[in-house]
Structure 1
């Protein structure tokens, strides 16, 4: 019985091993891992369309007149009639300098003038008295000539005294510092009680007339050469007249509602910076812009046949922009492109791809060169309708 049991156990064990081995052998190739199917990715055909691109240049803003208000006489500042940021009219009094010394100078000058006039009257009387005596040969004409010389001297002293009076009146008037133009008051560094004069380093304030604002910006030598080639005309002035209106992008990223016009250009390059300066003017009736603001000038450029690529289809690597181009057998290859500008959500491309090429629209982060995909074609027209230029 014991031997029979051992034989039965051995038989069952061999049978189980045979069954397991047979099942494993019978599965064969069906048990091997299968290759995943190609990725389904959206693909768009590169197209051509008219587009407007923009060049941006950093700009600083200044009023058409930024005038330093400086004292023209010396004295203590005893009144300030305005506050920083206030709008003032032309001729409005801004500051007052203590005028007591200048009142005294004026009174002294007037007294000197009165004395000079009295001397002139006496000299005239003397000439009048001696004239008939000379005519009747009672006295020699030497005395009359002397009297006339004294009169001329007295007359000159009157003119000199009058000039001193005029000068004293002018200096007295300078104690009231007035606005030469209308505009906005800048910072007021000095306070009441400060001693001011023509030698004071800081101005009392800066008055900005900002009904119109100038935006100063610079073009590099390369940008300037492109500018000269882009617009018709034989001179720079003629080319500037052909430039379209420009936009001003403010520091917060918003666009100023009024468009401006480029007016003048500097006569020569700044050798230290390798740039040449331009100026654009913007109307500023509401006073939204102030001197000292910064922003960016946007110059539009229209391209009639631009090669467009959605920005979503690109990726950057080592400061270069790439796309995945779909080739034969739906294999993809990364290709560098040369971007000449942007318009809306699209890049304008000069080199790398051409109209009719198919590129992967999205999912480029999951691709590598030589990968095979299952394209899902998207129309460029449909993209332009969803995201226009």
Structure 2
């Protein structure tokens, strides 16, 4: 019996020693939590954009001929009225001289016709000649008058064509590539323009909104009509291709009248001041729109987990048990998600260590005020 009693005593002592160790192993994990508060926040959306000058003009010849002179250089700034190109004007100058000669001949014929009428008028009155001759003379005078007007119009046309041989800048702006050089034969039917002239004192930045974004655009901004909403829009920013932000803000001033059937998007235009000429036609970037949101919750991105295209947080419930809850994200502000739905004001969520949690796990919550410090610690 003694050996049996010794075995039972030993088992009893071992069981008593093991129970605290098991209780210690099953103790809830201490994790930092924070309380959710709703407030007002601003989020930003970015859309690919292209830059165009307020005025982009193709410079084309209006008469044919050989390019004698090229006055402007590529990339140069020119003022409206500045000569850019000179087409050989000899043929057009001779055409003007010929038109003037025809005008002089027509004017001489008109003078003769008037003299004939003046000569026949008293003779008809005295019944020396028949009335028919006077009528014929007056008809000839009207024909001569028409010939003078036609010749005068031809002179005007020749003068216009001669003026077209000097091609001037229609607006102030920057010269683009010079696609034709001195000595080239040019004409109005050429496939390529001589160059492009861009007025970039102000620039138009075009971007597109999908149908869902456009509906959100209309719903989030004040105003009864689309024009009212445009007038109340906050300034927009331009993010350049190197991710730097253009120094001056712009404003949205145009929304296209219809959606593109091919892309399902609608074009929106923002205008930016560019008095320094830092932006040029053809620049690309992104337009950044700000959106003010009311009664939204801020949730640190590190406190979320993504599964099957959904984002979840672990909310602390009764008995300090956690529950995985999906959240609806409106945007971002710094390192926080701006959440529309999924968490409530005053609710506690786990800040870090969520990769070790499962639904219904009991934790020992440690409330912290500095969320970033708690996340860095874990």
SS at match of 1:212: strand
Partner of 1:152: 142
Partner of 2:158: 168
Partner of 1:72: 62
Aligned runs of 1:279-358 on 2, under 5 Å? 279-326=269-316, 334-358=324-348
The counterpart of 2:104, out of the listed 114, 125, 145, is 114
Kindly state the Cα deviation for residue 137 of structure 1 after the two structures are TM-superposed.
Answer: 2.8
The counterpart of 1:274, out of the listed 260, 264, 282, is 264
SS at match of 1:113: helix
Deviations 1:147-206 (A, max 9, x none): 222222222212111111110110010011111111122222222222221211122222
The alignment of Structure 1 onto Structure 2 pairs a total of residues equal to 360
The counterpart of 1:361, out of the listed 342, 347, 351, is 351
Deviations 1:76-109 (A, max 9, x none): 2222211222211111111111211111111111
Q: Work out whether 1:127 is the aligned partner of 2:117.
A: yes
Partner of 1:8: none
Please say which of residues 208-217 and 90-99 is displaced more in the overlay. Answer: 208-217
The counterpart of 1:217, out of the listed 170, 186, 207, is 207
Partner of 2:8: none
Aligned runs of 1:200-211 on 2, under 5 Å? 200-211=190-201
SS at match of 1:349: strand
Partner of 1:239: 229
Please say which of residues 352-361 and 85-94 is displaced more in the overlay. Answer: 352-361
Kindly state the Cα deviation for residue 327 of structure 1 after the two structures are TM-superposed.
Answer: 5.1
User: Could you tell me how far apart the structure 2 residues matched to 1:314 and 1:82 are?
Assistant: 60
User: Could you tell me how far apart the structure 2 residues matched to 1:78 and 1:38 are?
Assistant: 90
Q: Using a 3 Å threshold, how does the CA distance of structure 1 residues 164 and 301 change in structure 2: closer, same or farther?
A: same
Please say which of residues 328-337 and 292-301 is displaced more in the overlay. Answer: 328-337
Partner of 2:94: 104
Q: Work out whether 1:86 is the aligned partner of 2:76.
A: yes
Partner of 2:185: 195
**TM-score under structure 1 length normalisation:** 0.81
The counterpart of 1:45, out of the listed 35, 45, 52, is 35
User: Could you tell me how far apart the structure 2 residues matched to 1:90 and 1:283 are?
Assistant: 20
**TM-score under structure 2 length normalisation:** 0.83
Partner of 1:230: 220
Q: Which runs of 5+ in 1 are unaligned?
A: 1-24, 385-389
User: Could you tell me how far apart the structure 2 residues matched to 1:351 and 1:205 are?
Assistant: 55
Q: Which runs of 5+ in 2 are unaligned?
A: 1-10, 374-378
Please say which of residues 221-230 and 324-333 is displaced more in the overlay. Answer: 324-333
SS at match of 1:73: coil
